[in-house]
Structure 1
Amino acid sequence: MRRSIEDSLQRLGVDSLDIAFVHDISPDFAFFPNGWEEQYETARKGAFPALSKMRDEGIIRALGIGVNTPLPILKVMEDADPDVCLCARQYSLMDHASAVNELLPAVRKRNISLVIGSSLNAGFISGSPRYNYGKENFKIPAEAIEKRGRLRAVAARYGVDLRTAALQFSAAADVAVALVVGAGSAHQIEEDWNSLQAKIPNSFWDDLKSEGLIEASASLPTL
């Protein structure tokens, strides 16, 4: 682990890293030969203590894991001392109930921050013919298509861009410190920035809640 971090520092030409994530030690990762639990146990004994020591030395400023499911984040809080975790597929307009009711209260209690990934569900909210990631992400669940249609209907009533609403929703969680939003051009980055500055009326969010499209206890953007 230390050698990997030191090699990264050399390649980047910097003295320290802001965050070091241990990636994909999660039940949904299908490529571990003996299951994710074995890899997690290896990280528990090796990577996590090594990263904690490097944080104490100032080589990294924060450590955590980057995963698609809540379970490893809940587990790592008991087995290590993370500062921030990448919540890669758990907090979007499309799918956030588990995060709101289980994950966010737990990380809030431990004063751990989250980087929110997949705010747009791999572009699905923007109209892309895929939902999240994986070899079969073109097989979109019927319930996801139905919910997107209902979200679009409310957005149309208010003249709100659904993609903009999705980004603002993911950024509104009190434990969220950053979004990871895939972009293929500088223009898309500019669009992301503009979306986060756009004004959306509070009544739009109220309507989403009243129609059961957002969890009642979810944090919302406010004007």
Structure 2
Amino acid sequence: MMTRRNLLQAGAALGMGAVVGGAASAQALKVQNSTGEFMKTKGNIDRDAALPMNETGSGKRYRPSSRMGLGGLAAGNGFNTISSDEEILQMLNAAWDSGVRYFDTAPFYGLSLSERRFGDLLRNKNRDDYVLSSKVGRLLTPSAEPLPKRWHWANHSPFHYRYDYSAAGTRRSVEDTLHRIGVSSLDIVFIHDLSPQNSDFGDDWLKYFDEAVSGAMPELTKMREEGMIKAWGLGINTSHAVSKTLDVAEPDIFLLALQYSILDHQEALDKTFPLLDERDISVVVGAPLNGGFLAGRDRFNYSSFIPEEMKTKFAAINDVAGKYGIDIKTAALQFAEAPSTVSAIIPGARTAQQVNENIASMKVEIPEAFWSELKTKNLIAQNAPTGS
């Protein structure tokens, strides 16, 4: 297994090094409100280091080349935070200039807003120079009526959605995405939100799963065989559908949100990752910062409710981070990227400054003693990889 140092060297060999924004001097870390300042990166930054890359040609299943990606939820005005097209394009350009070459979006993010904004950058780039993933499962239909307030899209595009996991709906969804982004192909397609955690489904999630088994899964397999896509899997917030999918299909990769972070990872390490390792299936970690909580936001995952246990754990890890001159966001990003099962992490960003701070975090040299102390204090699992 390659260490984090090996992966950084591999990235440098491929010419992926980049300049990042300056790290700030020490500040007291605290949970900010959702419109507060972004968390500054602290620590010894190796500005000549490249972003980590996956080994090319290793394993039989597809993995994105870049281990550091960009999630598209914020580009869809996620968490009801309004951003202009210009602000998002500046953020995307900052990501590109810093060496990010994996971009993940979805029709659901802002009801096409994120895909369209990603296209403002990507349609002007050489298609062979980056990895692009999006999702299927929701088809958009024109509507001027806003969605119910329980969804977190501010000023979303004038569409509603309906679920469709059929073969025809899956192919149409991929084609619609290509039109919105303005590109000729997708690398990865994730079947979106196919789990009981989806509040739209209630107790009926298995009905939708069965539709995907007979529709979306064989259709995406066919697209892979045709060369239209390189890989497919599920993009889900809980692990319920992982083993069920492995029983009936041959996915390549899973996007697991809310399942692997420095605050919550034991079940993934003990159950989900070994199941996937047996099949050489990798994981893209969504929400490595728990929806911004580990970057100082007053939300945890997709909710304003922050469990007391998570506040306590945040404070304890933050104290140890301060002792070693780093910040908790930096530790969280490197922690999420460390396992060999993980092929990429995709933290989101709304501004160029947030991107630059995240990139800087990936180039901080974290002392091994920091990770050892976290394990000694039982703040991370004893079997958690740390990339050293």
**Do they superpose with TM above 0.5?**
yes
> In structure 2, what is the equivalent of residue 22 of structure 1?
191
- Match 2:220 to one of 18, 26, 51: 51
**Higher relative contact order (Cα pairs below 8 Å, separated by 6+ residues):** 2
Distance 1:34 1:150, change over 3 A: closer
SS at match of 2:174: helix
* Offset of residue 35 of structure 1: 1.8
Moved over 6 A (4+): none
Opposite residue 198 of structure 1, the aligned amino acid is V
SS at match of 1:35: helix
Distance in 1, Cα, partners of 2:327 & 2:181? 37
Superposed CA offset, 1:124-168 (max 9, x none): 1122111111xxx22211111111111111111111111000000
Distance in 2, Cα, partners of 1:46 & 1:30? 22
**Percentage of matched positions with identical amino acids:** 43
1:124 aligns with 2:275: no
1:41 aligns with 2:207: no
Distance 1:57 1:184, change over 3 A: same
Superposed CA offset, 1:89-126 (max 9, x none): 10001100110110111111110011101111111112
SS at match of 1:64: strand
- Match 2:356 to one of 175, 190, 195: 190
1:96 aligns with 2:265: yes
> In structure 2, what is the equivalent of residue 157 of structure 1?
323
Distance in 1, Cα, partners of 2:202 & 2:312? 36
Of 165-174 and 180-189, more deviation after overlay is shown by 180-189
State whether residues 16 and 58 of structure 1, in contact with CA within 8 Å, keep that contact through their aligned partners in structure 2.
no
* Offset of residue 33 of structure 1: 6.1
Distance in 2, Cα, partners of 1:58 & 1:183? 31
Distance in 1, Cα, partners of 2:304 & 2:179? 39
State whether residues 196 and 202 of structure 2, in contact with CA within 8 Å, keep that contact through their aligned partners in structure 1.
no
Of 73-82 and 155-164, more deviation after overlay is shown by 73-82
* Offset of residue 192 of structure 1: 1.1
TM-score of the aligned structures, taking structure 1 as reference length: 0.94
Opposite residue 191 of structure 1, the aligned amino acid is E
> In structure 2, what is the equivalent of residue 211 of structure 1?
377
> In structure 2, what is the equivalent of residue 220 of structure 1?
386
- Match 2:254 to one of 78, 85, 89: 85
| Cα RMSD, aligned residues only | 1.3
Distance in 2, Cα, partners of 1:132 & 1:173? 21
Q: How does 1:56-71 map to 2 (within 5 A)?
A: 56-71=225-240
Distance in 2, Cα, partners of 1:3 & 1:129? 38
Opposite residue 165 of structure 1, the aligned amino acid is A
State whether residues 286 and 345 of structure 2, in contact with CA within 8 Å, keep that contact through their aligned partners in structure 1.
yes
Distance in 2, Cα, partners of 1:11 & 1:68? 25
SS at match of 1:116: strand
* Offset of residue 44 of structure 1: 0.7
Distance in 1, Cα, partners of 2:266 & 2:342? 16
Gaps of 5+ in 2: 1-169
TM-score of the aligned structures, taking structure 2 as reference length: 0.55
* Offset of residue 75 of structure 1: 1.8
Opposite residue 150 of structure 1, the aligned amino acid is A
Of 171-180 and 26-35, more deviation after overlay is shown by 26-35
How many equivalent pairs are there?
219
Superposed CA offset, 1:28-65 (max 9, x none): 11112652111111101100000000100001110001
Opposite residue 190 of structure 1, the aligned amino acid is N
